[in-house]
Amino acid sequence: MSFGGRVSVVLGLLAVVVGFAVWGVVGFLMPQPATVDFTAAKSTTGAVDMTVQTVPAIGFGFQPGWVSYLVQDPQGQWIHSTIWKLPAHTRVNMTILQYDSGSPLRNQAFGQVQGTIGGTADLNGKPISVYDSNSGDSGVGHTFTVPSIGLSVPLVGVKATATNTCGSAPCTTNFDHNTLKFSFETPGPGNYSWQCFVPCGAGYLFGNGGPMSTVGYMGGFLSVVA
């Protein structure tokens, strides 16, 4: 390789390193989303009922075009946060309203429902233990995955033929969506990271940057307390 070629390669690698450094600094300086507290939200059965939604574009903030999660707080307000405080050793009944489109999974293992109570999730009222993302025209849009407790649920995408799609958050149930319901039990006290494992960071290397690597969008924490 010529001297000029070697210089170009070094400069290119330097640009990549600088880019990652800038991204890390910006991420560090960005304010973290508020923690939404569910510790006092137990139902009469002793469980915590939660509703979240995934949207194709948040519609506001510093990256309005990013895909994101939102959560409904105990007062019924939609909050753009992925940090949730939960009581330890408690059943959580989760409802996820999935408004985003999907595609075939790169890793079919994430089509399996894992770690839920009963080993299944309900997709629009029908129990599933695995979803074949290569079938039909829906695919999987996202997952809700907490690796440290073995919990993972595929969130089936809205059909490609859908015409009444939501443009920005929060979305209402008048728009085309899928409803996923499942339950799990929180572990002992600690902070447990969770994330979508479907690369959905459009415009980033292999889809793994941007919202995929930013708390408040496609990843967050379960802050479990005694």
Determine the pLDDT at residue 84. Answer: 98
Determine the pLDDT at residue 20. Answer: 40
Domain ranges for the chain, please list them. 1-30, 33-225
Architecture per CATH, domain 33-225, reads as Sandwich (2.60)
Residue 211 preceded by cis peptide, ω within 30: no
Sign of the torsion formed by the C-alpha atoms of 118, 149, 205 and 55? positive
Determine the pLDDT at residue 2. Answer: 67
pLDDT averages per 10-residue partition of the chain, 226 residues: 56 46 45 92 93 97 95 98 98 98 94 98 98 91 98 96 93 98 98 95 82 95 98
Determine the pLDDT at residue 16. Answer: 40
Q: How far apart are CA 171 and CA 222, in angstroms?
A: 23
Q: How far apart are CA 84 and CA 191, in angstroms?
A: 10
Query: What's phi and psi for 60, nearest 5 deg?
Result: -155, 175
Give Cα separations from 5 to 9, 10, 24, 109 (angstroms).
Answer: 6, 9, 29, 42
Q: What is the pTM of this model?
A: 0.85
Q: How far apart are CA 163 and CA 59, in angstroms?
A: 19
Q: How far apart are CA 160 and CA 184, in angstroms?
A: 30
